[in-house]
Structure 1
Amino acid sequence: MVIATNLGFPRMGAKRELKRLVENFWAGKIDENALLSGAKKHREEHWSLQKNAGLDHIPSNDFSFYDQVVDHSYAFGVIPARYKNLKPGLETYFAMCRGLQKSGVDVEACEMKKWFDTNYHYIVPEFDSNQQFNLNATKIITEYNEAKAVGIQTRPVILGPVSYLLLGKPARGSPQEFEPIQLLSKLLPLYEEILCKLAEAGATWIQIDEPCLIRDLPPTLKDEYTSAYNALTKVSPKLKILIATYFERIGTNIDFIIDTPINAIHIDLVRSPGQLEPILKRLPSTVSLSLGLINGRNIWTANLDDALAEAQKAVTALGSERVFIAPSCSLLHTPHSVQNEKKMDSEMLGWLSFAVEKIHELVIISKALNCGVDSVQAELDVNRKSIQSRRTSSRIHDPIVQEKMKSLTPDMFKRKSPFRERQQKQKQKLGLPLFPTTTVGSFPQTKEVRSIRAKLKKGDVTLAQYDEFMNKEIEKCIRFQEGIDMDVLVHGEFERNDMVEFFGENLQGYVHSENGWVQSYGSRCTKPPIIFGDVSRPKPMTVEVIKYAQSLTKKLVKGMLTGPVTMLQWSFVRDDQPRKDTTYQLALAILQEVQDLEAAGISVIQIDEPAIREGLPIRKEDWNEYLQWAVDAFLLSSCGVDCSTQIHTHMCYSDFNDIIEAIQRLDADVITIENSRSDLKLLNAFEKREYTNEIGPGLYDIHSPRVPSTEELKTRLKEILKYIPKNLLWVNPDCGLKTRGWKEVEAALKNLTDVAKEFRAAEAGC
């Protein structure tokens, strides 16, 4: 029989129950026992949901309070020395994720990076060259036993040993030649111990995620993969091991594992449908194949006829007993359920499939294969109607937008003069000092701000009352920045629920969910808007609010926009046309806003593009095509202004070495970047490639509640000056301040501007 299975389920819950649980614990509103018991209940609900839907293999250990990688680090004792004096358990765990600052304790968080090409983040493991591993937590076994206690047999999910090491980095002070993969032989015994304990507890299948198998890997890693899985498959004859890959094709990396005695391989047939037939030809007769047929990263209803046709190829080649039906990747990257959407029209709802619905799609496919198509004929008929409805809907295409796309010219993709000429004109017009200070954009979204936005949506306050409240928040923000002598101010973005969702709400071609939340990092969730058709801007989106903020001060106020690639990456995107075309449509809409801001007298305009690196294809052979259109989209959105208008952009949590030439080609006058968690290593790229435009490396980490001292900021700024010339350097935090509290923001920014003025005075004294 074909097996219906899942690789992972969203953690937050239908109504973000886990988010509230964790944040209440951080705030001291509940104790550790309440946190742990609430999390246990949450997990049991999700296991029952999947069992009742008809899945055969249900994952466990896909739950996390922050992310699955830091869970492994804690479990294996990979805890950096700076946390050694903290209380073991949740205090240490959350300090690794968020940092900790309290009564004599002040430790920074570990580095955070994007999980492959998603907007989900993970905490980067830090390995010492003499790393001593120890199994100091049993979360994996505990959660398996929890499910078993309520009558649910699960398939525990573990991040594979090779990928875990490859995703980490050498700890501070490690020898230059040290690479974490050298620790594999020391780490494997802990994996063997975990598998042994799971076998003793009654587990029969283990899912070991090896997502790095879809990267460009050196042939030398074959020995590591072979030794790892030759060892792990011998732990217990009771255990069967499935190696899961996702987000791309496994390609020739299949050679690394194909000759090991594993029991199954999972492949992503959404991102790489062409890999099915080559793998069918290579698969040993003892190995089953898990087919990633349902998109785990987008929200459109699957074409079940197409999925069935693909699945049938595998069944014909392997037999039904060796075929699993699965999502392309963990459903972590999709919202909980369409059932929570009460305001969306029925036609649009019929086009959508969130995590719960995707599980039903998996079950329909497996039932059709096991019991015949007639057994699910009604479900298939509904699916065909949905696919046809979306394909033929008049809501999808806009002739005016299509005509604009045909009218693009080469001049629309380049600034009117080179940077050096623009820089001089901007200096004359803007009059900024050395080491100019600014923030990346947003200020704290307080409970009061969120409350009045909710009241407006419910009709409990009028638009005039809402605007009056927001204007007061903007004025408070402006006055605070004036008070600490910030050089380029922002209005705070209080009217924006999210940097992408806000603009999506003001553009045609988007639709919005009420509860389509997905996890970004820790308790932070986003609600990606949905691009279903051609995108256009009906009217100005930010001009009036920025004009109001500028009217309050003689200092410069930045116009704040989200760039086209980030709008694409952080939305659920239509899949019926090339992503390039959708991005250009977004760029044209943003260009209109940029030009209207300039016409309104705004001389500094920031177009955020934190997701350009995120969107980079995983395989290097696919990079050039993507970078060409991604950079062109930014240029299209930003180049239609005068030379004296200063264009800023922002990027965060990126390996800039990979895309430094593309960043230079963006030709932004100023770029601000995340830098604080990366030990300044990101700046090497800008120094080595002689980056010529102005740059603001983040001076402190806004994802942590700790407040950096002036001494810490001075030390960091001195280090930055070793890489960036003083005449190009801006002083700023590493990201927006939306998730922080006012008290810590006020203290941190006061320290930041004081340090900039001190450095400025020192230069003047010279």
Structure 2
Amino acid sequence: MEKLAGLPLLPTTIVGSYPQPEWLIDREGLKSRLPPRVRARELWRIPEPMLADAQEAATLVAISDQKLAGIDIVGDGEMRRESYSNRLATALEGIDIDQPGTAIDRTGKANPVPRVAGPIRRRGPIEAQDARFLKERAGGWVKITLPGPFTMTQQAQNDHYPDDAAMAMAYAAAVNEEVHDLFAAGVDVVQLDEPYLQARPEQARGYAIEAIERALDGVKGITALHVCFGYAHVHQGAEKPKAYEFLAELDRSSVDIISIEAAQPRLDPAILAELPSKRIMYGVIDLNDPAIETPELVAERIREALPYVDAERLVIAPDCGMKYHPREVAFGKLKAMVDGARIVRGELAAG
């Protein structure tokens, strides 16, 4: 628990994404399709020779907005990605990017995915340069997200390994190299995104923890793991489950922080008792609702968790999928979240 020393009680962060500018990416095109698992370069509005500079400029906007809102652990907003997973997943050796495979996504639809045609290996650092940029520009605490090995396995067509468990371990080895490089670049928190732990709990019970542990082997920095019910815009307002099917299992992992969404699904906070040894990144912003929460509503959502988890173990965050909202809505929600955490922080200090 002492690893977050120096941050205020109830520190705030984003899950990963922040709205990409309309001048950078075709936002309507992005919202009209399932999150891409293979590269979708046609979504970018900026020609390739200038794209990296444009993504860098957009990252500065995301950093500035978070700092203006008062966020304690700043992310890069995933400005350089078409989705949370495809940038890293398609950069690895062993992936045939010219002939994608097919897999069923969590909505039950077939989706083009990376096709694993040979041994998965990391050619070299993928996000480390971006991580250094984030740390230099943001200062203070920063976080970078990576797709986790179990989720990448579920989002791939396996044409090489004897089974998915073996493929997950190969993904995990590549992720492990990337995690080490990110901490060497100055990142304070590295987060693995593992939404398919919830979507496919039976497969997860077979090999997910082993793969996650391999991905974090030898890592000394602060690690987080995000589990969710899926983006609100993808499920088009459908009611989300009221409980996680794969959560208690994560308490035996070496991950420091478990990130879950609670606002939209109206999650029963009693479920937090299933993670007695972890910090909890707790979603208090409903991204199915475009209305900006009041700080008082955010404070009430935080208070609901306190009977089940000590305030010292709580990190405050939105639910996931912020990239699909207009920037002004996303910023307003972040500001309300920061102000709501400040309310509860003051109440706890007053006793």
- Provide the TM-score with structure 2 as the length reference: 0.84
Match of 1:512 among 97, 102, 110: 97
- Counterpart mapping for 1:719-738 below 5 A: 719-738=304-323
Aligned pair in 2 of structure 1 residues 573, 675: CA closer, same or farther (>3 Å)?
farther
Provide structure 1 residue ranges, at least 5 long, that are not aligned to the other structure: 1-422, 618-622
Q: Deviations over 1:245-278 (max 9, x none)?
A: xxxxxxxxxxxxxxxxxxxxxxxxxxxxxxxxxx
Q: Report the alpha carbon displacement of residue 438 of structure 1 after superposing the two structures with TM.
A: 0.4
Query: 2:17 pairs with 432, 442, 447, which one?
Result: 442
Q: How far 1:505 moved relative to its partner? A: 1.8
- 1:742 Cα offset (Å): 0.5
Superposition deviation, residue 445 in structure 1: 3.1
Q: CA deviation at 1:656?
A: 5.5
1:37-83 Cα shifts (integer Å, max 9, x gaps): xxxxxxxxxxxxxxxxxxxxxxxxxxxxxxxxxxxxxxxxxxxxxxx
Aligned pairs (5 A) from 1:646-725: 646-653=222-229, 658-681=245-268, 683-687=269-273, 689=274, 691-725=276-310
Higher strand share: 2
1:564 touches 1:633 (CA, 8 Å); kept in 2? yes
What is the total number of aligned residue pairs between the two structures? 327
- Structure 1 letter corresponding to 2:265: S
Amino acid at match of 2:339: D
Q: CA offsets, 1:167-204, max 9 Å, x none?
A: xxxxxxxxxxxxxxxxxxxxxxxxxxxxxxxxxxxxxx
Structure 1 residue corresponding to 2:188, chosen from 603, 606, 609: 603
Q: CA separation of 1:580/1:551 partners in 2, compared to 1, >3 Å: closer, same or farther?
A: same
Measured at CA, do residues 742 and 527 of structure 1 come closer, stay the same or move farther in structure 2, by a change above 3 Å? farther
2:63 paired with 1:478: yes
Deviation by residue 1:411-454 (Cα, 9 ceiling, x = unmatched): xxxxxxxxxxxx22x134xx111001001101113432225984
Distance in structure 1 (CA, Å) of the matches to 2:290 and 2:41: 26
Mapping 1:220-619, distance limit 5 Å: 423-424=1-2, 426-428=3-5, 431-451=6-26, 454=41, 461-463=47-49, 465-512=50-97, 527-574=112-159, 577-617=162-202
- Alpha-carbon shift at residue 553 of structure 1 (Å): 2.2
Query: 1:456–1:462: 8 Å Cα contact kept in structure 2?
Result: no
Partners of 1:520 and 1:526 within 8 A in 2: no
Contact 1:530 1:571 in 2 (8 A): yes
Mapped contact 1:517–1:526 kept (Cα < 8 A): yes
Aligned AA (1:435): L
Shift of 1:757: 1.4
CA contact (8 A) 1:513 1:529 kept: no
The alpha-carbon distance between structure 1 residues 504 and 664, as it changes in their structure 2 partners (threshold 3 A), is: same
**In structure 1, C-alpha distance between the alignment counterparts of 2:91 and 2:123, rounded to whole Å:** 8
Please name the residue that 1:17 is paired with: none
Q: Does 1:762 align with 2:340?
A: no
Match of 1:630 among 200, 205, 208: 208
Q: Residue 586 of structure 1: CA displacement?
A: 0.2
Once the two structures are superposed, residues 685-717 of structure 1 have per-residue CA deviations (whole angstroms, 9 ceiling, x without a partner) of 332x46221002211222343322223212211
Look up the SS of the partner of 2:192 in the other structure: strand
Residue pair 1:651, 1:671 contacting (<8 A) in 2 also: yes
Q: What is the one-letter code of the residue matched to 1:652?
A: C
Report the Cα distance in structure 2 between the residues aligned to 1:657 and 1:731, rounded to whole angstroms: 19
Distance 2:20 2:107 in 1: 17
> Secondary structure at the residue paired with 2:113?
coil
CA apart distance, 1:521 = 5.5
Q: Which one has a larger percent helix, Structure 1 or Structure 2?
A: 1
Return the TM-score normalized by structure 1: 0.40
Aligned to 1:148: none
Q: Separation in 2 of the partners of 1:658 and 1:530?
A: 28
2:217 aligned to 632, 639, 661, which one?
639
- Would the alpha carbon gap of residues 564 and 456 (structure 1) be closer, same or farther in structure 2, given more than 3 Å must change? same
Residue 585 and residue 684 in structure 1: after superposition, are their counterparts in 2 closer, same or farther (change >3 A)?
Answer: same
d(CA) in 2 for partners of 1:489, 1:525: 34
CA distance in 1 between partners of 2:289 and 2:112 (Å):
22
- Are the structure 2 counterparts of residues 690 and 565 from structure 1 closer, same or farther at C-alpha, using a change threshold of 3 Å? closer
Cα deviation for residue 613 of structure 1 reads 2.8
Q: Is the 8 A contact 1:667 1:693 kept in 2?
A: no
**Secondary structure in 2 aligned to 1:667?**
coil
Alpha-carbon distance between aligned partners in 1 of 2:141 and 2:323, rounded to the nearest angstrom = 21
Q: Deviations over 1:584-641 (max 9, x none)?
A: 0000000000011111121211111111132222xxxxx7xx5252101001111322
Is the CA contact 1:440–1:733 (under 8 Å) kept in the aligned structure 2? yes
- RMSD between aligned alpha carbons? 2.8
Match of 1:137 in 2: none
Shift of 1:519: 7.1
| Structure-to-structure mapping, 1:165-176, within 5 angstroms | none
Provide the secondary structure at the position in 2 that maps to 1:629: helix
Contact 1:660 1:686 in 2 (8 A): no
CA distance in 2, matches of 1:550, 1:526: 35
DSSP-derived class of the 2:297 partner: helix
Question: After the TM superposition, which of the residue ranges 672-681 and 589-598 deviates more from structure 2?
Answer: 672-681
> Unpaired runs of 5+ in structure 2?
28-39, 230-240
Task: Work out the CA distance in 2 between the residues paired with 1:698 and 1:590.
Answer: 25
The 1:504–1:690 alpha-carbon spacing in structure 2 relative to 1, beyond 3 Å, is closer
| Post-superposition offset of 1:720 | 1.6
In structure 2, C-alpha distance between the alignment counterparts of 1:744 and 1:714, rounded to whole Å: 19
Alignment of 1:6-405 (within 5 A): none
The Cα of 1:672 is off from its aligned counterpart by 1.0
- Structure exhibiting the larger radius of gyration computed from Cα positions: 1
Offset, 1:671: 1.1
Distance 1:451 1:742 in 2: 14
Letter aligned with residue 648 of structure 1 = A
* Superposition deviation, residue 494 in structure 1: 1.2
CA distance in 2, matches of 1:576, 1:504: 16
